[in-house]
Structure 1
Amino acid sequence: MQKIESLNNITHENLAVNPEFSAELGDNAVSTVTFITEFSEVQKEYPILCRKDPETGEYQAVVLFGFQKDENLFLVEADPSSQKYVGWRAEYIPAAVARGPFSIGVQGDADGSSEAPKPVVHIDMAHPKASCDRGRALFLENGGHSPYLNYITNVLDTINEGMHLTKHMFNTLNKYELIEPVNLDIEFIDKSKLTINQFETINTEKLSQLSGEALAELNKSGFLQAAYYMATSMSNIRKLIDWKNRNLSASGNAN
């Protein structure tokens, strides 16, 4: 059960958070959501697809980490001496994962006079990465934010700013019918087969045939580049297949 608290330098003065990544720490998800505000980094390492949220019916961008439940091929044995993010083999981690136990909440003035709620950082004290005796400190001795908390704040800003913009992006892409279902038929080295058909991707043929007016609209909003990021990121599927095959070979499951 979650235990959400508003983060502050008094209650959480001595709180430290484990910044590493592992299955034991809850990072063994096969996918997560991503946002247009990080597409330029995400597309370098992960395949970006999209699907409709079953609860809201709205499109969301998704990155794949593996091919089956609880399989995250980016998780590796922790080596602090050589890894930018300990336990994770990539130069960038999607914000929805990087945030760990933190989230953005809203808080108004105590007298109710504030016209707009203020975003505040929340922390789930029941999260396995929340700890008081080891990890990265959140606050300096003078009460200021530590470098790690500044990093987390930037991660949360990426999510907060990206949620609305990503929704607007999908509305525009749908306006020009640029999203289509994708079917991926994969055979691994052990002869096992997998079909991925629950996602959608960019129709590059339609994208290339857009009118000048449509291209101008997409380019001005930044959605044209985002569409190409999504399309080109699909090449990262091959990397995941290679990693999966190596794991199968190492475990002796390959023929």
Structure 2
Amino acid sequence: MARHVMLDPDAHRDLRVSFARGAQWGDAVMSAIVTPAEFRRVQNDYAILFRHDLAADRFDAHALFGFEPGENLYLEGDRWDAGALPLAIDIQPFLIGATRDGTARQVHIDLDHVRVAPAGVRLFDEDGRTTPFTDAAVEKLSALDTGWQAAPAFFSALRRHELLEPFTLEVTLADGAVNRLVGYHVIDEAKLRALDAAALGELHGGGHLMPIFMALASLTNLSGLVARKNRRSADG
């Protein structure tokens, strides 16, 4: 369950949020949505794959953490073993809300999220002012919201130039077990190479070439993810 409310200094004066890491804090997830604006920051750690929401006919990008639901191979006990955290993970339990007329953005919090915990960091000081922790969370929320708003133009460009192709990965682990990753898409590198100067100019002008290259570069992390899976399997 979730209980989303607008963050309020009077109602939430004594609220605390934990920024610890671990499965008990909701980090045992297979992937997280990332926006194209994040690709450069996260591509060194995670494979970036694309998933098609058939109901909404919309593509989203995902940073991959594991090969099956609930598996996060970057989690080492209470440590997240990566240089960067996707914003969608880093901002929990905060989220972006909006006024009823949709004209203004608001900071909301899920009061039922496991991270809302007595042992956490205060969100407001004794005078009702936001703490540095809250200020940083709001800054990250703003970055995520800006990236989310810009993402449709990126995916529209990919679809317009037919640059997405279905992707299936079958991994045979050291113990002989087979993991199969299906339902994702990647950048079609052959079609990207075949684009003419006008198409490449359009993509560059829209700011789309850099995230395309970052998504392609990120796929080198798949071998590292397989290695993490093998180590985890060997450890039992």
Using the TM superposition, give the Cα deviation of residue 149 of structure 1 relative to its aligned residue in structure 2, in angstroms. Answer: 1.1
Q: Of 74, 80, 90, which aligns to 1:98?
A: 90
Output one character per residue of 1:164-187: Cα deviation in whole Å (capped at 9) or x when no partner. Answer: 211110100111111111121211
Matched, 1:60 2:45: no
Using the TM superposition, give the Cα deviation of residue 200 of structure 1 relative to its aligned residue in structure 2, in angstroms. Answer: 0.5
State the Cα RMSD in Å: 1.5
Matched, 1:126 2:112: yes
1:140-151 equivalence runs, <5 A: 140-151=125-136
Distance in 1 (alpha carbons) for counterparts of 2:170 and 2:210: 27
Output one character per residue of 1:184-242: Cα deviation in whole Å (capped at 9) or x when no partner. Answer: 12111111112223110001121122111111111122111111111110111111111
Which residue in the other structure is 2:44 paired with?
Answer: 44
SS of 1:32's equivalent in the other structure is strand
Which residue in the other structure is 1:234 paired with?
Answer: 219
The two structures have a TM-score, normalised by structure 1, of 0.88
SS of 1:241's equivalent in the other structure is helix
Using the TM superposition, give the Cα deviation of residue 37 of structure 1 relative to its aligned residue in structure 2, in angstroms. Answer: 1.7
Q: What is the identity, as a one-letter code, of the residue corresponding to 1:239?
A: G
Using the TM superposition, give the Cα deviation of residue 155 of structure 1 relative to its aligned residue in structure 2, in angstroms. Answer: 2.0
Matched, 1:16 2:16: yes
Q: Does the Cα contact within 8 Å between 1:38 and 1:158 map onto a contact in 2?
A: no
Using the TM superposition, give the Cα deviation of residue 5 of structure 1 relative to its aligned residue in structure 2, in angstroms. Answer: 1.4
Q: Of 101, 107, 122, which aligns to 2:99?
A: 107
Which residue in the other structure is 1:111 paired with?
Answer: none
Distance in 1 (alpha carbons) for counterparts of 2:23 and 2:42: 21
CA shift in 2, pair 1:206/1:52, >3 Å: same
Q: Does the Cα contact within 8 Å between 2:49 and 2:215 map onto a contact in 1?
A: yes
SS of 1:194's equivalent in the other structure is strand
Using the TM superposition, give the Cα deviation of residue 125 of structure 1 relative to its aligned residue in structure 2, in angstroms. Answer: 0.8
Q: For structure 1, which segment, 201-210 or 155-164, has the greater mean C-alpha deviation from structure 2 after superposition?
A: 155-164
Which residue in the other structure is 1:200 paired with?
Answer: 185
SS of 2:23's equivalent in the other structure is coil
Moved over 3 A (4+): none
SS of 1:130's equivalent in the other structure is coil
Distance in 1 (alpha carbons) for counterparts of 2:82 and 2:180: 26
1:146-165 equivalence runs, <5 A: 146-165=131-150
Q: Does the Cα contact within 8 Å between 2:94 and 2:108 map onto a contact in 1?
A: yes
Length, aligned pairs only: 236
Which residue in the other structure is 2:103 paired with?
Answer: 117
The two structures have a TM-score, normalised by structure 2, of 0.95
Q: What is the identity, as a one-letter code, of the residue corresponding to 2:221?
A: N
Distance in 1 (alpha carbons) for counterparts of 2:183 and 2:102: 38
Q: What is the identity, as a one-letter code, of the residue corresponding to 1:127?
A: H
Which residue in the other structure is 1:82 paired with?
Answer: none
Q: Does the Cα contact within 8 Å between 2:67 and 2:180 map onto a contact in 1?
A: no
Distance in 2 (alpha carbons) for counterparts of 1:172 and 1:196: 25
Q: Does the Cα contact within 8 Å between 1:30 and 1:70 map onto a contact in 2?
A: yes
SS of 1:186's equivalent in the other structure is strand
Percentage identity across paired residues of the two chains: 31
The answer for unaligned runs of 5 or more in structure 1 is: 79-86, 109-114
SS of 1:152's equivalent in the other structure is helix
SS of 2:129's equivalent in the other structure is coil
Q: Does the Cα contact within 8 Å between 1:66 and 1:240 map onto a contact in 2?
A: yes
Distance in 2 (alpha carbons) for counterparts of 1:95 and 1:71: 19
